[in-house]
Amino acid sequence: MTTAVIIMGSLGLIVGIGLALASKVFYVYVDPLVLSIDDVLPGANCGGCGYPGCTPNAEAIVAGKSGPDSCVAAGSDVAEAIAALMGVSVEATEPDIALPGCTYGVAKADTKYAYNGINDCRAAALLSGGMKVCEIGCLGFGTCARACPFDAITMGADELPAVIEERCTGCGTCERVCPKDIITLSSVTRRILKEYTVADCTTPCQRRCPAGINISAYIGHISQGNYRDAVLVIKERNPFPTTIGRICPRPCEEECRRQYVDEPVAINFLKRYAADVEMESGKRDLPYKAPATGRRVAVVGGGVEGLSTAFFTARLGHTTKVFEATDKLGGLLRSAIAKERLPEAILDWDIQGVMEMGVSAETGVQLGRDLTVAELLADGYNAVFLAAGGWDSRLTRSPGARELETPIPGTYLLLDLIRPRQADEAGVQVGRSVAIVGGGKLALTAAQKAKADGATAITVIQRESEAAAAIDAAALAEAGLEGVTLRFATGLTRLWGSGTTLAGIELTDLANPAERTSLAVETLVLSAGRFPEMIFVPMPTTEDADTDADAAADSAAASATGDDLAWAAYPPYKDPAYSAETGIHAKGDQLTDYSGAIKAIGGGRRAAASIHRSLYGIDLDMPEGVLTPEVYVQNVDHVEEVRAYPRRIMPVADSRELAAGSELEKGFDEHTARAEAGRCLRCGLICYRHDVSTDAPGVQIEETVPG
């Protein structure tokens, strides 16, 4: 008996020691914060957050891979509770919703493949790319619908996903399982920030439009008589539909596939018709905007670019105010276009639409004369955007352009430095250190003038390589400019200063963009017909350098007046066609006013997107595969089985009507507009509709496509 007790006791001791050792070896530490957040989460384990349960989501939140508001099964109170545990704040955000992005399903594709035994889009995508000739087209197996945790997606009769908006939580499950990026999350903010890529189903006309308007969508609405919906589609990317419908140079029509049959669709005249219907009704329809962010943005310049920037910035949820030097908004649209082409009442209607989006404006105020960048930042603006326009715009503000303009502290245009001045004109106040950017041989003249005015350290900066530049060290010596520094293949990427003083600039080696250097300068001279588009933000103080960027900016603004507030400035991201360029006044940048209002609208949206990204610390990098003219995109070079129907001609006013104040182009009536809209082939990437249109409104379209 005693022996048995000893044996059992020994075994128990051994097991106990083994368990103790195992507990040390296999011990798993659980972060108390993860446990706290897991307790707050509802425990639905629905997978809508993108993780297999609430505990993994709690771990992702703590790791910074998921946000406090990532739980789609909970309300704002849960998000606020998690944020409090994390020591952060939650800002009101607009809901995301799934949005299908394909035009034609497999059922309507002329060429398709059958894969026996496969019923999953991801598996089909691994076999020759899928089931359609179109490289990015929907495969139609309904994987997104089966994956949706909330039964918010169904497959329609056209074998394309249809979203039930009332059920969609924006969880992104469908987006994650779609191998072709056909269904993605969408919101006002996402659409404004979006640059089209090779993965998007875009039409030729949309790709050519500088504003990126979804042209086939709004023409489709017009053909059905849904003019309100048509205008809202246009306003997604264009806040001036009534104006642009009269003055656009119509580059989109150059790419219209209808030209392979007869003539391009009258795209711009149709835009004008839908916008005129809205204007004549007297009831304006405004596109959606994001919830208020509490951030304030100042836009300097009330021309089409500045107003477009303000429109899109307001739609992103920011409180926006426009400062304009003249007594009226509109810029060159008001002063440089004949009234029979663009009556002022038409322009005023569109400008009022921008104001109704929540934008305010102050006229008769010129930056550099009546207020400064630093004063605006000290007044509580989180960002200031400069869209003052080019030389033509300046002439409208100051006939003869005699008034010296200095919207950017310490910065001047080269022409202002070197041109002869009358006795009563103010001259450029040159500091001891001067940087002259661009200008070729004129840079030598500018350097001579700066030296004569007392500059002791002069740097001439050229974007061209030494071999390609128009000047060299020998030219400097010949001009009596010994001691002047000459830098080649260099771009200007950033400015900084305090109050009304410029302190320095950042230079980037164009051969090696990662190599950046700083140069202390008091005066900057730019060889262009306009000041560059720049975003100004408060510069964090040294103590704030390692803190949150927003808090640092607020601290800098709160602790300084306009006289000494430190600021930094940098350009918005570039047009995708020139995204590889670096620095201001690069290839593709505006060196004077925009050549077309529609291009300025596109520039305004990019500026708003850049401001928004800057406010949230998001990089200004382009997405992978962004569309440019050099990027290969599937397309067609002919269309089949489409009848020829001539383009409808816009009626014009005769001399008596013009004398009575009529517009030159009189616009379409409803019958003509809907018939012309019926000529649209409703293209996708390579698909289009065979046309059976007639002259009657509400034409019927046979939905058969080549791929």
| pLDDT tens-digit readout, 634-689 | 999 999 889 999 999 999 999 998 888 889 999 999 999 999 999 999 999 998 88
The phi and psi torsions of 212 (rounded to 5 degrees) equal: 70, 30
Does residue 183 lie within any of the structural domains?
yes
Whole-number pLDDT of residue 547:
41
CB–CB of 257/204 below 8 Å? Answer: yes
- 178 with 230, same domain: the answer is no
116: CATH? 3.30.70.20
Whether residue 7 is predicted with pLDDT greater than 80 in this model: the reply is: no
Whole-angstrom distance, CA of residue 460 vs CA of residue 462: 7
- Where b means 16+ CB within 10 Å and e means fewer, 391-425 reads ebbbebbeeebeebbbbbbbbbbbbbbbeeeeeee
- 110 with 53, same domain: the answer is no
Q: Say how many C-beta atoms besides its own lie within 10 A of residue 619's C-beta.
A: 8
- 51 with 124, same domain: the answer is no
Domain range holding 153?
Answer: 97-187
* Final residue belonging to a domain, choices 152, 187, 222: 187
pLDDT tens digits, one per residue of 230-262: 999 999 999 999 999 999 999 999 999 999 999
- 103 with 180, same domain: the answer is yes
| Sign of the four-CA dihedral 28, 32, 33, 38 | positive
Whole-angstrom distance, CA of residue 322 vs CA of residue 513: 34
- 82 with 140, same domain: the answer is no
Whether residue 556 is predicted with pLDDT greater than 90 in this model: the reply is: no
Whole-number pLDDT of residue 26:
55
- 174 with 123, same domain: the answer is yes
Q: Tokens 């006044």 map to which residue? A: 585
- 234 with 169, same domain: the answer is no
Q: CA end-to-end span of the chain, whole Å?
A: 88
- 175 with 217, same domain: the answer is no
- Where residue 379 falls among pLDDT bands split at 50, 70, 90? very high
Domain count within the chain? 3
Does residue 683 lie within any of the structural domains?
yes
Does residue 371 lie within any of the structural domains?
no
- Smallest CA-to-CA distance from 188 within 295, 311, 289, 297 is with 289
Whether residue 218 is predicted with pLDDT greater than 80 in this model: the reply is: yes
**Token pair belonging to 551:** 């808090």
Whole-number pLDDT of residue 17:
67
Does residue 238 lie within any of the structural domains?
yes
Mean pLDDT across 180-192? 91
Whether residue 494 is predicted with pLDDT greater than 50 in this model: the reply is: yes
Does residue 549 lie within any of the structural domains?
no
- 127 with 144, same domain: the answer is yes
CB–CB of 528/417 below 8 Å? Answer: no
Does residue 129 lie within any of the structural domains?
yes
- 63 with 103, same domain: the answer is no
Radius of gyration of the chain (CA): 30
Whole-angstrom distance, CA of residue 582 vs CA of residue 574: 9
Q: Does 71 or 539 have the greater pLDDT score?
A: 539
**Token pair belonging to 440:** 């070729």
- Where residue 2 falls among pLDDT bands split at 50, 70, 90? low
66: CATH? 1.10.15.40
Least reliable range by pLDDT among 45-54, 139-148, 448-457, 645-654: 45-54
* Final residue belonging to a domain, choices 72, 90, 108: 90
Whole-number pLDDT of residue 110:
66
- Where residue 69 falls among pLDDT bands split at 50, 70, 90? confident
Whether residue 557 is predicted with pLDDT greater than 50 in this model: the reply is: no
Mean pLDDT across 341-360? 97
* Final residue belonging to a domain, choices 157, 187, 217: 187
**Token pair belonging to 346:** 């038409």
277: CATH? 1.10.1060
Whole-angstrom distance, CA of residue 451 vs CA of residue 430: 9
Whole-number pLDDT of residue 239:
98
Q: Percentage of the chain surpassing pLDDT 70?
A: 85
| Sign of the four-CA dihedral 476, 481, 485, 491 | negative
Whole-number pLDDT of residue 151:
94
- Where residue 543 falls among pLDDT bands split at 50, 70, 90? very low
Whole-number pLDDT of residue 36:
77
Q: Does 335 or 30 have the greater pLDDT score?
A: 335
Mean pLDDT across 177-197? 92
- Smallest CA-to-CA distance from 448 within 422, 474, 477, 426 is with 477
Q: What is the pTM of this model?
A: 0.88
Whether residue 549 is predicted with pLDDT greater than 60 in this model: the reply is: no
Whole-angstrom distance, CA of residue 541 vs CA of residue 561: 14
Least reliable range by pLDDT among 169-178, 201-210, 348-357, 537-546: 537-546
Whole-number pLDDT of residue 485:
94
- 175 with 219, same domain: the answer is no
Across all residues in the chain, what is the average pLDDT?
87
Does residue 86 lie within any of the structural domains?
yes
- 102 with 67, same domain: the answer is no
Does residue 329 lie within any of the structural domains?
no
Whole-number pLDDT of residue 563:
76
Query: Which of helix, strand or coil describes residue 246?
Result: helix
